């Protein structure tokens, strides 16, 4: 039995526009589940519905197999880490953590013990007596986490907890959060708009767009098999290269102007498709070889790798990712080859077209 289950969860504030629509998902105990999507996609609303801070318009929320739609927040036995941390400014770090336990009527000794334990875990022992305004951003963030830890609730909800930290600290906290979650065996539902956080932290990810779930799955599954063009372009940096294409006999006509001949894989039967190719599947070949020859419009050298943007057509620029510090210059004309088996095809509704069946492959090879 799933630990937390959402069935057709729908929320509308005005009765017309659905902020969250028909979300169904089962979350297992001990899972690190990430809700990710651009801002305004309804991910925070979904989290607040689970917390009981908002009421459902329709659908069910099941906690431990029981319908929890009408349970008040505290009856759901969860903790929540807010984006702005929601620390009480007039209370010390310790009081901020203990307030949760006071409400649960935990004995004083036990309160103290749990606080010290959490402080130890988070490196807050020296600042237990301080007020939030005397702490750094990272420390405040950890106090908010500490509150979730001392509560010992089986489920912890986190609403963009790292978004107020600087990039470096965020990277460290990602690792630390995940380590803590494993150590404590907490189930975490984590909201973020940052796909890197989603990819690096999650056991499973749900990608939301305008209140609709786009895809649920393990990060690499989603990366390798995006369900539609939105997911394809949302996950991965730089995003997947996309282009509209006409499917011809053995080639594709990209954006009505650039023909690309494919040698190693059958093409879908659909006439008009969108093709997608991740930057790491584009390689440089000798001039005149490969799939396309194009001029380079931008080069970003990151040290360990180089991002090369070239002009597929006037409107569409694609980016290739090469390891190492490639010796290319802007304005140079180069030839590129594609990993044909890494090509993704999406239909007219931007839905993924499945990979060719065994029989299609065989027919192609013959």
Partner 1 sequence: MNDRVSSPMPSAWPVPTQPTVRRTAMKAWMEGMVYLLPSLLLFGVFLFYPLARTLYLSMFSTNYQGAPIRFVGWAHFAALFQDESFWHSVKTTFFFAALTVPTTVAIAFCLALLVHEKRKGIGIFRTLFASTMGMSVAVASIIWMFMYNPAIGIMNRLLSALGFPAVSWLLDPDTALYAVAIATIWMNIGFTFLLLLAGLQNIDPSLYESARIAGLSYWRQLWTVSVPLLSPTLFFVTTVSLIQALQTFGQIDFLTKGGPVDATNVFVYAIYREAFVNYQFGFASAQAIVLFVIIAAITFLQFRFAERKVHYQ
Burial class (CB in 10 A: 0-12, 13-18, 19+), 231: buried
Residues in contact with partner 1, shown as a per-residue x/- string from 52 to 91 under the rule CB under 8 A: xx------------------xxx---xxx-xxx-x-xxxx
Which residues in 136-195 contact partner 1 (CB under 8 A)?
Answer: 147, 151
Report how far apart, in Å, the C-alpha atoms of 327 and of each of 93, 102, 195, 308, 333 are: 53, 63, 30, 10, 13
> C-beta of 70: minimal distance to partner 1 in Å?
14
Strand order in the sheet with 155-159: 78-81, 155-159, 187-192, 32-36, 204-209, 212-217
Q: Which is nearer to partner 1, 132 or 211 (CB)?
A: 132
Q: How far apart are CA 72 and CA 51, in angstroms?
A: 9
> C-beta of 73: minimal distance to partner 1 in Å?
4
Q: Which is nearer to partner 1, 100 or 254 (CB)?
A: 100
Instruction: Compute how many other C-beta atoms are within 10 angstroms of the C-beta atom of residue 87.
Output: 20
Burial class (CB in 10 A: 0-12, 13-18, 19+), 37: buried
Handedness of CA 151, 155, 156, 157 (dihedral sign): negative
> C-beta of 96: minimal distance to partner 1 in Å?
10
> C-beta of 50: minimal distance to partner 1 in Å?
11
Q: Which position among 16, 39, 66, 133 is part of the footprint of partner 1 (CB under 8 A)?
A: 133
> C-beta of 52: minimal distance to partner 1 in Å?
8
Q: How far apart are CA 196 and CA 46, in angstroms?
A: 20
Q: Which is nearer to partner 1, 3 or 82 (CB)?
A: 82
> C-beta of 55: minimal distance to partner 1 in Å?
13
> C-beta of 92: minimal distance to partner 1 in Å?
12
Residues in contact with partner 1, shown as a per-residue x/- string from 198 to 237 under the rule CB under 8 A: ----------------------------------------
Q: Which long-range contacts (CB under 8 A, 24 or more apart) does 349-353 make?
A: 349/228, 350/228, 350/229, 350/230, 350/274, 351/227, 351/228, 352/225, 352/226, 352/227, 352/228, 353/268, 353/270, 353/273
Q: Which position among 104, 163, 313, 350 is part of the footprint of partner 1 (CB under 8 A)?
A: 104
| CB proximity list for 117: less than 8 A, separation 6 or greater | 150
Q: Which is nearer to partner 1, 155 or 247 (CB)?
A: 155
Q: Which is nearer to partner 1, 91 or 253 (CB)?
A: 91
> C-beta of 81: minimal distance to partner 1 in Å?
9
Interface with partner 1: number of residues (CB under 8 A): 24
Cis before 137? omega within 30? no
Q: Which is nearer to partner 1, 101 or 205 (CB)?
A: 101
Query: Which residues are at the interface with partner 1 (CB under 8 A)?
Result: 51-53, 72-74, 78-80, 82-84, 86, 88-91, 99-100, 103-104, 133, 147, 151
């Amino acid at each position: 039995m799933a630990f937390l289950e959402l069935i057709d969860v729908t929320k509308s504030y005005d009765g017309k526009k659905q902020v969250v629509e028909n979300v169904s998902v089962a979350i297992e105990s001990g899972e690190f589940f990430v809700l990710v999507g651009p801002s305004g996609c309804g991910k925070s609303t979904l989290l607040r519905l689970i917390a009981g801070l908002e009421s459902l318009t329709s659908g069910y929320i099941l906690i431990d197999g029981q319908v929890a739609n009408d349970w008040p927040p505290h009856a759901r036995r969860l903790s929540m880490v807010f984006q702005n941390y929601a620390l009480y400014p007039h209370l010390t770090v310790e009081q901020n953590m203990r307030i949760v336990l006071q409400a649960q009527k935990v004995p004083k000794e036990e309160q103290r013990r749990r606080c010290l334990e959490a402080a130890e875990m988070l490196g807050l022992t020296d600042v237990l007596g301080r007020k939030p305004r005397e702490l750094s951003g990272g420390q405040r963030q950890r106090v908010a986490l500490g509150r979730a830890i001392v509560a010992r609730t089986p489920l912890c909800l986190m609403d963009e907890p790292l978004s107020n930290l600087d990039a470096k600290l965020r990277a460290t906290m990602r690792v630390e959060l995940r380590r803590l979650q494993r150590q404590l065996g907490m189930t975490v539902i984590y909201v973020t708009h940052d796909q890197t956080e989603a990819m690096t932290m999650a056991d499973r990810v749900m990608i939301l767009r305008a209140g609709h779930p786009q895809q649920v799955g393990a990060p690499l599954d989603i990366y390798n098999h995006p369900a539609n063009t939105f997911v394809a372009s949302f996950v991965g940096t730089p995003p997947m290269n996309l282009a509209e294409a006409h499917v011809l006999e053995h080639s594709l006509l990209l954006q009505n102007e650039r023909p690309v001949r494919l040698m190693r894989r059958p093409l879908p039967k659909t006439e008009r498709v969108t093709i997608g190719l991740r930057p790491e599947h584009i390689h440089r070949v000798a001039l005149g070889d490969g799939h396309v020859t194009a001029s380079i419009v931008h080069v970003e050298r990151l040290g360990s790798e180089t991002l090369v943007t070239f002009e597929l057509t006037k409107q569409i620029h694609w980016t290739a990712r090469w390891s190492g510090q490639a010796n290319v210059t802007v304005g140079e004309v180069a030839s590129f080859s594609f990993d044909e088996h890494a090509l993704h095809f999406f239909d007219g509704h931007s839905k993924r077209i499945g990979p060719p069946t065994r029989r299609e492959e065989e027919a192609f090879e013959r």
